[in-house]
Every structure is written in C-alpha cells, then in structure tokens.
Structure 1
Amino acid sequence: MTPDQDILAIAADWKNQGHEVAIATVTSTWGSSPRPAGSQLIVDGQGRMMGSVSGGCIEGAVVKEALDVMQDGKPRLLDFGITNEQAWEVGLACGGKLQVYIERLD
C-alpha cells in the first residue's frame, strides 16, 4: 500500500466512524513546490488532519477551505503562488505555484 492509499484508507475509516471528511489534492505545480502533484491532505470536521499538500506553508488555508467544503458541499480549486522575492519574506527558500482541489468525501 502506498502512502496515498494509506491516506485514502484513513479518510474512509474516518467517514465510516461518522465524521465529515474532505480530501485536498495537489493537481498541478509550477516551479519549486515542496510536494508533487497527487499529494493529498485529509481533514475531518473536527479539524484533525493527515497528509500534506505543501510541507506546511499553505496547509492552514487548505484546512480552512476544507472545513468550508464539508459545510457547503461545493468543491474548490485553489491557486497558490509566491514570487521568489515574497518567498524570502515568508521564510521559504524559493518561489513556486500550485493548485489544490478540495472535495467532500460523500
């Protein structure tokens, strides 16, 4: 079983336990990105999470959006980007862009 399959198995387990669950998936990257396309993060209605879509730098925003997706059921495609100049300001080594798709597990 691959790590992503483990994540999906955990998501299914959380759902079977009666929790709301959202899955965030990196759909594309440009330039430097800490996690490749296909990386996933799962979030439940209590804010518990597992996996990673960014190595930490955008995870807070993704978790907030995932909680909103669980509430309204509307999937979202999020764009995150940072220039090389901004990257140094926020403590990242380099710039890059990525898209993250978030959907509710029904």
Structure 2
Amino acid sequence: MSTLAADNALILQQAADWLAAGKPVVLATVIGTWGSAPRPVGSLMAIAGDGAMAGSVSGGCIEGAVALQAEKVMQEGEPRLLSFGISNDMAWEVGLACGGKLEIYLEPVT
C-alpha cells in the first residue's frame, strides 16, 4: 500500500469515528495541482464539527482557510470547490519557497 493510500485510510477511519460519535464531518480532497504543490492529488483532510482535523491538503499552508470553508459546508450541506494559488514570482516576493496552484473539493460526509 502506498504512503498516500495508508495515510488516507487512517484519515477516513478518523472521519468514521467522528461520525459514529455524532459529529458532523467534511472531507477535503486535493483534486488538482499545478506547479509546485506540497501534497499530491488524492490527499485528504477530514474536518469535524468541533474543529478537529486529520490529514493535510497543503502541508499547513492553507488548512485554516479550508477549515473555515468546511464550517460553511457543514452549515449548508452543499459541497464546495476551492482554488488556491500564487505565481512562482509572487511566492518569492512574499517569502514563500513554493508557488503553484491547487484545487480542493469539500464535501459533507454522512
């Protein structure tokens, strides 16, 4: 089993545990990357209604923004597509080592 698959299995198990405990859960999935991206397509992050998180979609760069959008998905019950990106030139200007873009799909889990 690949590392990504093993990591995702653990994240999905955590999401299932949260659901079994009666907590709402949103699953965030990296569905596209362009340029430099810290996590590959297929990476998962689960967000529980109490703010707990498991997994990563960006290595820490945008998890907070994803968690905020996950709250809206929990409230509305509708999935969302998120896009994040910065040009390589801009990345160096602001002190970030990686540029690139990524798309993340958020969906409520029931």
Q: TM (normalized to structure 2)?
A: 0.91
Measured in 2, the distance between the counterparts of 1:60 and 1:89 equals 22
Partner-residue secondary structure (3-state), 2:73: helix
Deviation string, structure 1 residues 19-38 (Cα, Å, up to 9, x no partner): 01000000010110000000
Say which is worse superposed, 59-68 or 86-95, in terms of deviation: 86-95
Say which is worse superposed, 83-92 or 68-77, in terms of deviation: 83-92
Gap regions ≥5 residues in structure 2: none
Please report how far the alpha carbon of residue 3 of structure 1 lies from its aligned counterpart in structure 2 after TM superposition: 1.1
Deviation string, structure 1 residues 5-44 (Cα, Å, up to 9, x no partner): 1100110110010001000000010110000000011111
Aligned CA-pair RMSD: 1.2
Say which is worse superposed, 82-91 or 19-28, in terms of deviation: 82-91
Measured at CA, do residues 15 and 90 of structure 1 come closer, stay the same or move farther in structure 2, by a change above 3 Å?
A: farther
Deviation string, structure 1 residues 79-106 (Cα, Å, up to 9, x no partner): 1110112212443212101000000111
Moved over 3 A (4+): none
Q: Percent identity?
A: 59
User: What is the number of equivalent residue pairs in this alignment?
Assistant: 106
Gap regions ≥5 residues in structure 1: none
Aligned to 2:51: 47
